[in-house]
Amino acid sequence: MDRLTAAGIHGTALTWVDNAGLTRVKGVPTARLAQAACQGVGMSPVFDVFLLDDSLTRSRHVHGPDGDLRLIPDLERLTVLAAQPGWAWAPVDRYDQQGEPHPVCQRRFTRRMADLARRRGLEVRMGFETEWVVTAAEAPESELRYAAAGPAYGMARLVELSDYLAALLEALHAQRVEVLQLHPEYAPGQFEISVAPAAPVGAADLCVLVRETIRAVSTRHGLAPAFGPVVRPGSVGNGGHLHFSLWRQGRNLHQGGEGPYGMTATGEAFLAGVLRELPALLAIGAPSPASYLRLEPSRWAGVFQCWGLENREAALRFIAAARDAPETANAEVKCFDPAANPYLASGAVIAAGLAGVDEDLRLPKPVAGDPAEVGTAPRLPTSLPEALAHFEQSAVLRAALGDPLFESVAAVRRAEAALFDGADPESIAAATRRRY
């Protein structure tokens, strides 16, 4: 703690992500951080059934005002926040008052799934892409204004916000986040940043840190980031694509084998398990009614239950290894978006993949071209209630999550579907675009 004090750090933000996909926080002064690491910080378990508008629902295991949890910061992830002077950050694991792991702790769920893979001799590496739309902070919600007017992937857009983007890269570098690329994206005013892969828990932590760094840098530049699945209905939305690869003893199992495009049998089975569970996984990775405004064909959103080699319209995109770089072979889940809790998304994908390995599943034929035009792949759920129905029928995800976490996720999804029932697309977009 002396190091933090000497660096002028007055407080540490302790964060977790709830089932609605919102990052919640408790802050502690630097002088109390060591005590927090030993004894935790109190927080109600009822946040596991909070909705994105801060209203409450209930599940069989989580409800009402009773009870308390202890938030224990992971000091190995402690990071001085370059764009928030005087502050540091650390993610938390959640325990009950007796020191037992909280069964609805999403971060611990990711760790459990990664440990389950490790016990089978497998290592999963993951990385999230973060997409956001930069808007003018002073504009009222009814007069949303983009902060850049340049074309998709255009240098003009980067030039317009050159100082802002340079400050973002500077902040992430100071926080020791390895950025792979930063570029203008498809939608108006939209950008994307991707970071180096990490172990599953670390990848989800990085997703949180990157997003909150974007938020802080934006605020300091008089801008407002919109991370919602859609900013304006009818246009391309924000993705939260999840890349992953499977390894054994230092070997990438998605290359060097005799399966499709060089996959090993185990690597193929893992992908096949993810592909099979995609309709249920949407309730995790596309968790908002707004998500289904984004999931439209022919917008690179991955709305068909298929896979393909470097096919940006397939829900599961396979990227073959680059020449002389076997570590680069990986798969990308394209139907996920920034409303997702990254810990739930990471853990659920691992659970689905391991089920595929256990059953030695094989992939169907890959799809080339736009599945909407080919017409052979089934459409993924087109609404949150439809995705929830698949989720509630998934024995794989129920077993992996455990009843308390599984049922609290389902309760939040059901309540948010009811919250927006009958709302028009513009109202849904307006209520969610800046909420995450």
Is residue 293 within 8 Å of 367, Cβ to Cβ? no
Radius of gyration (Cα) for the chain, nearest Å? 21
pTM of the predicted structure, to 2 decimals: 0.97
**C-alpha to C-alpha distance for 381 and 83, rounded to whole angstroms:** 39
DSSP-based three-state secondary structure for 19: coil
Scan for tokens 């502690």, then name that residue.
Answer: 28
Q: What is the pLDDT of residue 142?
A: 65
397 alpha-carbon distance from chain centroid: 17
Region 397-412: what's the mean pLDDT? 98
Counts for the chain of helices (H) and strands (E), in that order: 14, 15
Domains annotated for the chain, with CATH where assigned, are 2-103 (3.10.20.70), 112-432 (3.30.590.10)
Region 118-125: what's the mean pLDDT? 98
Q: What is the pLDDT of residue 31?
A: 93
Q: What is the pLDDT of residues 366-378, one digit of tens each?
A: 999 999 998 889 9
Region 276-299: what's the mean pLDDT? 97
User: According to DSSP H, which parts of 80-152 are helical?
Assistant: 106-119
Reported as a pLDDT band with limits 50, 70 and 90, residue 327 is confident
Region 117-127: what's the mean pLDDT? 98
Is residue 79 within 8 Å of 315, Cβ to Cβ? no
Q: What is the pLDDT of residue 139?
A: 67
Region 416-435: what's the mean pLDDT? 96
pLDDT at residue 7 is higher than 90 = no
**C-alpha to C-alpha distance for 81 and 107, rounded to whole angstroms:** 21
